Amino acid sequence: MSNIRHILSISGGKDSAALAFHLRDTRPEIDFEYVFFDTGEELPETYDYLKKLERALGIKVEYIHPQKSFEKLLQQYNNFLPSPTERWCTRQLKLDALIDYVKEGVIYNYVGIRADENRTGLIPHRDDFKTVMPFVEDGITLNDVKRILAENEVGLPEYYELVHDKEHNITYNRTRSGCYFCFFMRQIEWVWLLEKHPDKYWKASAFEKDGFTWIRDMSLEAFAKPANITRVKESYKKYEEYKKNHKVKNGTMMEEMDFLNRHDIDLNDFEDDQFCSMCAL
């Protein structure tokens, strides 16, 4: 094996999937290694999508497992669940696994950050580790990603499929790859998980111990109560209507906060995603 290695981590999300096709078409001279960091806490849709990509690209994706399972790590952290501020999960389940996997050589790590977004990633700061962002270099945006996936007949991962709730007149979906319990999820995505994968929802619930919860100040057991689900759906509906009627980009932050406060919409549900390149691309 050459001392230089080109690694593309496929997350089961749309951007890394499109990146694999884009690299095949634009850098055919490079011999890529395709890897997937399998935390063991993934959705079945993610595994299905990986299989689909392997078939469409004619590649083999290497599944990389962390040295310790999430459950073991949680015990080690005394049931202290990971959170946006204490994000031990990505480091332990993915970043360390990547460093273990590559061990030697100069690594070119390809990530699917697009030209139209401003994301950061948990990227190892080492001289032998170079991060490459082909979508940024080539000006590839969200529309291009969708086009690439459509042209290659793989489409989006199945969790993007919209759920139609007639009673509340709303549609929603999951919009991210990564662990099914990821604390970056919006509350409507927890509802999605409860409805689509109740087994995973209650597994996530069982990880809540000693007062540590995935959602701020509320256990998943309390979250699942019908009155609360209705609250989340109504809140989501109000915000979607607001977005339709206001170009959020053009509105000032003050206007938006004012609207959310006046309409009793839970701000926690609409925080900007803060995903990183290890988990969600």
94/233 with CB nearer ligand SF4: 94
Nearest to 172 by CA among 40, 269, 36: 269
* 3-state secondary structure at position 170: strand
Alpha helices in the chain (DSSP H): 14-26, 44-57, 70-76, 88-90, 96-102, 134-138, 142-151, 187-196, 198-206, 220-223, 226-245, 253-262
Give the Cα separation of 216 and 266 in Å (integer).
11
Choose one: 22-30, 72-80, 176-184, 254-262; the region binding ligand SF4 (CB under 6 A).
Answer: 176-184
204/229 with CB nearer ligand SF4: 204
Contacts of 202 (CB under 8 A, 6+ apart): 220
Q: Which one of residues 46, 159, 178, 187 is an interface residue with ligand SF4 (CB under 6 A)?
A: 178
87/238 with CB nearer ligand SF4: 87
CA distances from 196 to 38, 191, 193, 221 (A): 21, 8, 5, 16
Q: Which one of residues 34, 159, 172, 184 is an interface residue with ligand SF4 (CB under 6 A)?
A: 184
* 3-state secondary structure at position 110: strand
108/207 with CB nearer ligand SF4: 207
Q: Which one of residues 8, 35, 179, 193 is an interface residue with ligand SF4 (CB under 6 A)?
A: 179
Minimum separation from the CB atom of position 184 to ligand SF4 (A): 6
The site map against ligand SF4 for 212-251 (x = CB under 6 A) is: ----------------------------------------
Give the Cα separation of 109 and 94 in Å (integer).
13
Give the Cα separation of 139 and 253 in Å (integer).
28
Q: Is 82 in the site for ligand SF4 (CB under 6 A)?
A: yes
Choose one: 72-80, 82-90, 156-164, 217-225; the region binding ligand SF4 (CB under 6 A).
Answer: 82-90
- To 5 degrees, how large is the angle CA 10–CA 189–CA 214? 90
DSSP 8-state code for residue 273: P
C-beta nearest to ligand SF4: residue: 178
Q: Is 23 exposed, middle or buried (CB count within 10 Å of its CB: 0-12, 13-18, 19+)?
A: buried
Q: Is 279 in the site for ligand SF4 (CB under 6 A)?
A: yes
172/184 with CB nearer ligand SF4: 184
Alpha helices in 156-263 (DSSP H): 187-196, 198-206, 220-223, 226-245, 253-262
29/199 with CB nearer ligand SF4: 199
Contact set for ligand SF4, span 83-112 (CB under 6 A): 87, 89-90, 93-94
Per rule CB under 6 A, count of chain residues that contact ligand SF4: 12
Contact set for ligand SF4, span 1-40 (CB under 6 A): 39
Minimum separation from the CB atom of position 182 to ligand SF4 (A): 3
Cβ(220)–Cβ(205) below 8 Å = yes
Q: Is 182 in the site for ligand SF4 (CB under 6 A)?
A: yes
Site residues, ligand SF4 (CB under 6 A): 39, 82, 87, 89-90, 93-94, 178-179, 182, 184, 279
